[in-house]
Structure 1
Amino acid sequence: MNFTVTPVAHVRSGRHDAVDDFWGGTECRIELTPEYDAESLSGLRDFSHLEIVYLFDRVDPASVETTARHPRNRSDWPLVGIFGQRGRRRPNRLGVSRCGLVGVEGRVLVVEGLDAVEGTPVLDIKPWMAEFGPRGEVRQPAWAGELMTNYYLPESER
């Protein structure tokens, strides 16, 4: 079974390169496509964070990975299957990110910390609710913590 999805918005950002780190402090705008009016964003102002589902549209479908690889090509980290990591060369090229909501300006969301570049198609926008966070203790391998060390560090703190 196949599905067709169409963007509900696009990212407007000063960032044009999908780099692996330094997304903290990055502010961008999410502009709704013409078929959605400002009313579709009603109620979002009451939330501090959003969850954004988007398409890694710059990833060539021929480069999608389906097997195990070393995250960020670091041989000192273990071989991990594509579903055991959050790399962008995923089978459906979908990204999911939580970001802070700075403001709502008509048909535009101003957000902070969204790891998406200029023009990225946004497929869905959801308010983040604490109850959707993990229940119980969270565990992850050491390499994942190392990988994320600079991910949300502001670029100015390199």
Structure 2
Amino acid sequence: MQAFEITPIGTVTNTRTDIQHTDNWGAVRSTITIDERFGDACLQGLDVFSHAEILFLFDRFPADGDFRTPRPYRGDPTLPPVGIFAGRAPHRPNHIGVTCCRIDSIHGRELTVIGLDAVDGTPVIDVKPTIAEFIPTDPTQPEWVTAMMSNYFKP
């Protein structure tokens, strides 16, 4: 396997500091400050989109682990075991997270979004506009996922 290096493009600022599995991310307002090396116009044109996909690093989780054994989601023994790529847990082989967030405002290199499930100080590795044609119109998922996620993005 070829190794690669990722350099963050910015940092998250918000009031959330708990890296454990927490719910109620829906009202979390986060400001992503993009590094000055991208210039003050780096977010130009993003303001006409309603949402953006934020890719970030789960930088506060251990880098080691055995990912071969399926485990119950969120460690909840009442949920079925799933393989590492059938979940969105922060403990991942490459520690990359992604969340689709509502854009609140843009000021120079500062992008403020609502609903980003990343804690204060999290490194951001990319920002992409959410484009409707990239969103499947009929995604399916198990009912237990719907139930488990019912409070995740509540305010």
Q: Please indicate the TM-score interval, normalised by the length of the shorter structure.
A: over 0.9
Q: 2:65 matched to 1:55?
A: no
In the alignment, structure 1 segments of 5+ residues that lack a partner are: none
Q: Which amino acid aligns with 1:151?
A: Y
Cα distance change, pair 111–64 in 1 and its aligned pair in 2 (3 A): farther
Aligned partner of 1:134 in structure 2 is: 136
Aligned residues: 153
1:66 positional shift: 4.0
Hey, what's the Cα distance between the residues in 1 that align with 2:4 and 2:44? Answer: 28
Q: CA RMSD in A?
A: 1.2
Cα distance change, pair 64–31 in 1 and its aligned pair in 2 (3 A): farther
Native 8 Å contact 1:21 1:151 kept in 2: yes
Q: Deviations over 1:85-123 (max 9, x none)?
A: 111101001001000000101110011000001110100
1:139 positional shift: 1.2
Aligned partner of 1:32 in structure 2 is: 34
Q: Deviations over 1:36-78 (max 9, x none)?
A: 2121111000000000110000011124644310001111111
Q: 3-state SS of the aligned residue for 2:37?
A: coil
Aligned partner of 1:3 in structure 2 is: 4
Report the TM-score, using the length of structure 1 for normalisation.
0.92
Q: 3-state SS of the aligned residue for 1:35?
A: helix
Cα distance change, pair 64–104 in 1 and its aligned pair in 2 (3 A): farther
Native 8 Å contact 2:36 2:109 kept in 1: no
Native 8 Å contact 1:30 1:110 kept in 2: yes
Report the TM-score, using the length of structure 2 for normalisation.
0.94
Q: 3-state SS of the aligned residue for 2:102?
A: strand
1:127 positional shift: 0.3
Native 8 Å contact 2:70 2:84 kept in 1: yes
Moved over 2 A (4+): 62-67
Q: 3-state SS of the aligned residue for 1:143?
A: helix
